[in-house]
Structure 1
Amino acid sequence: MILPKRLTKPTKLTVKFALEELMREEEKAKEKMYRKNYWLCEGIIVKVMSKPLANKGYYKQKGVVRKVIDKYVVEIETLDNKHVLRVDQDELETIIPHIGGLVKIVNGEYRCSNARLVGVDTNKFCAKVKIEKGVYDGRVPNAIDYEDICKLA
């Protein structure tokens, strides 16, 4: 590290802050690179939030994603009556399990990893998870948005 003449020696504190800032910037860059505008995958439990399907009694019903048709459309099997529906991702919401439950990370840097829910921060609308299966096995990311994780079937 090259320092201007008037600065003598960096303190441990300034080096620590500089490293933390670099790590935050790197994490933001990775997050932007891995973030997609689609999040559907098989084996997750979702909630139907479609107003047109409300007339047929499916509004706010939960279902398991059985088949991904394309990036934005899935076939789900409802948990209550086992009906199969074809639904667009804009009409679905992710489900957050109880603490200790299994989740799939559906968006962001850790996408496609299975994890266990460790805690939730209701003020920041984010969750803390410990990754159990995937490339990042054992890692505990800082905070993952609610919509980036979904309960596993």
Structure 2
Amino acid sequence: MLRTDELLLKARQRVSKTTYKLVNKETGCYGVAERSTPGSRPNITIHHNVRCECVDIHLKHIAKHAHVTFRRKGIKKGRRDDLTMAIKLRLPDVGFRVKIPISRKRINPVDVDETPRRVVEETPRGQLLVEMWDTPEAWCNRTIWKDW
């Protein structure tokens, strides 16, 4: 069986020299990591589809968990962002389970408008973490409530 690092590297799809993505083929959601300058952390953007089944946790919490996993020598340094996207997208090919605390606060779907949202978060290390819903239907039917 392949190690976690090898599974994460295999799940990548190279878009350009500085950009790659991970795709959940079952739901249509995908994550993009784009490096703006050499040596910097890539900016991660998660695009949610109508059939979204992504993990209902803030990206910044998943990124912290990936960094802890790296510090404990569970993955290589270059796989931190891959692990963040793989957990968020619930990639079925990457065979590992992670326990992360789940937020309990929910918003009533009737109380929100019908425009797609772009939710931006930043980690303390300056990495940009963005979640986008591709259609108004995806925003209304979302299971990920980023409004808390």
What TM-score results when the alignment is normalised by the length of structure 2?
0.24
Q: Which protein has greater RCO, CA pairs closer than 8 Å, 6+ apart?
A: 2
- From the two aligned structures, give the one with the greater strand fraction: 1
| Higher Rg | 1
More helix by share: 2
TM value normalised by structure 1: 0.23
